[in-house]
Amino acid sequence: MPKVKIPRKSTSVDMTAMCDVSFLLLTFFILTSKFKPSEPVAIDLPNSRSEIQVNDAIKISVDKNGKAYINYPSATFRLKALEKMAEYYKDKYPALANLTEKQKANFAQVETFGFNAKTNVGDLLNKKPDEISSESTGIPIDSADNQLGDWVMAGRYADVDINHPSARNAIRIAIKGDKNTDVKAVQEVIKTLTEKDIHTFNLITTLAGGSSAAAAEKKE
């Protein structure tokens, strides 16, 4: 008896559902993505030949006018550092201990900041994060009122709580100075670090030879 031949039919796959899912995912990522906020001050970096990358670090920026700003690795880190400032230096900066949750949330969204923690902090943090960043005027680093050192130490205390509960001072400290700034301003930042018993840090530069990638040179 001859075999019964079953006619072959081409397989048809309906891709409508897959396309719908793909476009939904694409729309989701577009709507939820967040662009990196602009820094309150542009830093024109000097060149070097070092290729050490500095990523998760407390970064201190010094602009061409000698003003200092600070950058913490994440929003969670900023909130914890703010908490440590209010805890360890409450007598010096009482306004930081009385911030609302909304003001704290605004502060957490400011990637690089620089303001006087003793004057009009509440009014400044009531504004939108991009306005806080644009109105930053620098962190005082003069001998009479050196707030930069306190922010650096608050960051180190925050790092212990978040990343290194069994180790102290594990986070890297990096200085990003404008190539046109007065060297005395950078020296003042270095002096601030040494007064806080911080003797190891990095200088952020642009890699000489073309690349715009940031590099760092270790100093001790």
pLDDT digits (tens, 9 = 90+) for 65-74: 889 999 999 9
The closest of 144, 142, 151, 118 to 191, measured between CA atoms, is: 142
pLDDT confidence bin for 194, thresholds 50/70/90? very high
pLDDT of residue 125: 94
* Contact between 151 and 85 (Cβ < 8 Å): yes
| Any domain includes 169 | yes
| Any domain includes 32 | no
Q: What is the pTM of this model?
A: 0.72
Q: How far apart are CA 76 and CA 107, in angstroms?
A: 11
- The share of the chain scoring above pLDDT 90, in percent, equals 37
| Any domain includes 61 | yes
Q: How far is CA 48 from CA 45, 167, 218, in A?
A: 9, 32, 12
* Lookup: tokens for 123: 């009014």
Q: How far is CA 178 from CA 35, 49, 67, 111, 192, in A?
A: 24, 17, 10, 18, 18
| Any domain includes 33 | no
- Within 8 A by CB and 6+ apart from 218, the residues are 52, 200, 201, 202
* Lookup: tokens for 120: 């009009």
182 or 147, which is more confident? 147
The per-residue pLDDT of the chain, averaged, comes to 81
| Any domain includes 54 | yes
53 or 81, which is more confident? 81
- In this predicted structure, the answer to whether residue 119 has a pLDDT above a threshold of 80 is yes
| Any domain includes 58 | yes
pLDDT of residue 183: 86
Q: How far apart are CA 106 and CA 136, in angstroms?
A: 14
Tell me the residue range of the domain where 178 lies.
Answer: 47-219
Tally of domains within the chain = 1
